Amino acid sequence: MGSFGWGHAMSGRVIQGRFLSSGPRLAGGARQTSPRPGTAQPMAQGNARPLPDGILRGGAGGRPLPESVRRKMESFFQTDFSDVRVHVGAEAPSIGALAFTLGSNLYFAPGQYNPDSPQGQQLLGHELTHVVQQRSGRVRNPFGSGIAVVQDHALEAEADRLGQRAASHVAAPSVQAKMVSNRTAAPAQPHHAHPHHVDPAGQAKPAGPAGSGYRLIVGAYLHTDAGMPDAMAGHGFVAVERPGGKREAWGFSPAGFSGMDPKRDLGRLTAGVPGRVHRDEAAFSKPGVRTRSIPISAEQADKAMAKIAEYRGVNVQFSLARRQCTAFAGDVVKAAGVADALGAAPSRGPRDFYRKV
């Protein structure tokens, strides 16, 4: 597909995002767009409201997009997202948003930033559409100062549409290589911001595991069932992704769990029952799922898969007290040599594991 032709005429003074059905929740109530004399009318013809002071911290910090996700999105939008930074915290829910965009900064409510799930990539693609809308100057702050929260139905519909397409997009290797090559002409970024360096000939070279194309994805979600025992409050899982995006997700559960009652059989589940290692791709679409993507080498990926095969090859007991789903995920992470990603201390059950992810 051709380039969308984004410029860099605008950034940092406008908020757009995915809001709850009630719309933005701002102190002082709604305010129709009313530009000051001499200010340009916004190209977006929706409502704009001034953002109250004190809601946003500085735009510094945040984390870059995961390497493979960034390349996928760059391939779809045909633009550079190396400067995009992600923040997860109270900012989005404080104004009634699931996520919003301010220039190259994306703010997500807790539990909404899931770049490794299809739904998470749709929301990410929605917000990245706002990044490029703002870069191209298609939406402006009509108040002349401060930050405006702008809602334009046409631009939001465009963000929804492109977000869905971006999530299902498959980047061709040649397109990805072109994006990396194009980035070598961009202003230099701090070394830690990119997993590539450029040799004198201008060719991007991978630097260690980050450039290998392999990733270990650690995920967790909390069950929504009321009254679930705390030791069974959630589920942890892992996935190994290979170059090209092929991914295998795995979880560990009690064999025959569908016929058990968590309360009635809590004693058995705590003491130990036969366990089962199973494919777990559906975990990525669970409500509130959290994931952490860790770049690894091919050797580390093989070690992770070997640990999964070890669990599958023996009759491992599932025990809420000794070895449950989060222990399985932790063992795979440890086998891959990246245990520090979840902290030095072992997880104390599903809630603690979810918090660490």
| 133 and 240 part of one domain | no
Q: Do 119 and 225 lie in a common domain?
A: no
With 80 as the cut, is the pLDDT of residue 133 above it? yes
Same-domain pairing of 227 and 137: no
pLDDT for 28 equals 47
* Average pLDDT of span 181-187: 43
What is the structure's pLDDT at 56? 74
Q: Which of 132, 148, 168 is the last residue of a domain?
A: 168
Q: How many CB atoms are located within 10 Å of the residue 107 CB?
A: 31
| Arithmetic mean of pLDDT, 279-306 | 91
C-alpha span between 257 and 57 (Å, rounded): 45
Residue 3 lies in a domain: no
**127 and 226 co-located in one domain:** no
Q: Is the pLDDT of residue 175 over 80?
A: no
Whether residues 267 and 337 share a domain: the answer is yes
What confidence score (pLDDT) does residue 12 get?
Answer: 42
Question: Are 84 and 164 contained in the same domain?
Answer: yes
Inside any domain, residue 29: no
Token readout for 323 is 């070895």
* 3-state secondary structure (DSSP) of residue 33: coil
Residue 225, pLDDT above cutoff 90 = no
Model pLDDT, residue 27: 56
Give the tens place of pLDDT for each residue, 195-214: 333 333 333 344 345 557 89
CA distance 245 to 116: 10
pLDDT of residue 155: 92
Shared domain for 224 and 156, answered yes or no, is no
Q: Do 51 and 148 contact (CB within 8 A), yes or no?
A: yes
Q: Per-residue confidence at 23, pLDDT binned at 50, 70, 90?
A: low
Residue 250 lies in a domain: yes
Q: CA 320 to CA 260: how far, in whole Å?
A: 14
Residue 40 confidence (pLDDT): 31
- In this structure, of 31-35, 69-73, 228-232, the range with the lowest mean pLDDT score is 31-35
Residue range 100-112: mean pLDDT, rounded = 93
Is residue 62 situated within a structural domain? yes
Give domain status of residue 207, yes or no: no
Do the domain assignments include residue 37? no
User: Do 17 and 159 lie in a common domain?
Assistant: yes
Please state, for a pLDDT cut of 90, what percent of the chain lies above it: 41
104-113, 135-144, 240-249: the lowest-pLDDT one? 135-144
Do 335 and 237 share a domain, yes or no? yes
pLDDT number for residue 33: 39
Whether the pLDDT of residue 9 is over 90: the answer is no
The answer to whether residue 90 is domain-embedded is yes
| Residue range of the domain that includes 342 | 215-356
Chain mean pLDDT for the chain: 78
Among the ranges given (55-69, 152-166, 170-184), the one the predictor scored with the smallest mean pLDDT:
170-184
Q: Are residues 219 and 162 located together in one domain of the fold?
A: no
Residue 86 — pLDDT band, cuts 50, 70, 90?
very high
Mean pLDDT of 123-148: 88
**What ranges make up the beta strands (E) of the chain?**
14-19, 47-50, 85-88, 97-102, 105-108, 148-151, 196-198, 204-206, 214-222, 234-241, 247-254, 273-279, 290-296, 317-318
Of the given ranges (31-35, 251-255, 294-298), which has the lowest mean pLDDT?
31-35
- Asked if the structure places residue 315 within a domain, the reply is yes
The confidence score (pLDDT) of residue 189 equals 38
What pLDDT does residue 246 have? 85
Domain boundary among 131, 148, 168: 168
Residue 133's H or E segment, with its range, is helix 118-135
What was the pLDDT predicted at 153? 87
Q: Do 132 and 263 sit in the same domain of this protein?
A: no
- The domain total for the chain is 2
Does the structure show a pLDDT above 70 at 292?
yes
* DSSP E strand stretches across 229-337: 234-241, 247-254, 273-279, 290-296, 317-318
pLDDT grade, residue 173 (50/70/90)?
low
| Of residues 345 and 350, more confidently modeled | 350
* pLDDT above 90 for 223: no
Task: Indicate if the pLDDT at residue 355 is higher than 60.
Answer: yes
149 and 277 belong to one structural domain = no
pLDDT tops 60 at residue 314: yes
Distances (CA, A) of 96 to 21, 141, 156: 9, 20, 16
What is d(CA 136, CA 196) in angstroms, rounded to the nearest whole number? 27
Report residue 35's pLDDT band, with 50, 70 and 90 as the boundaries. Answer: very low
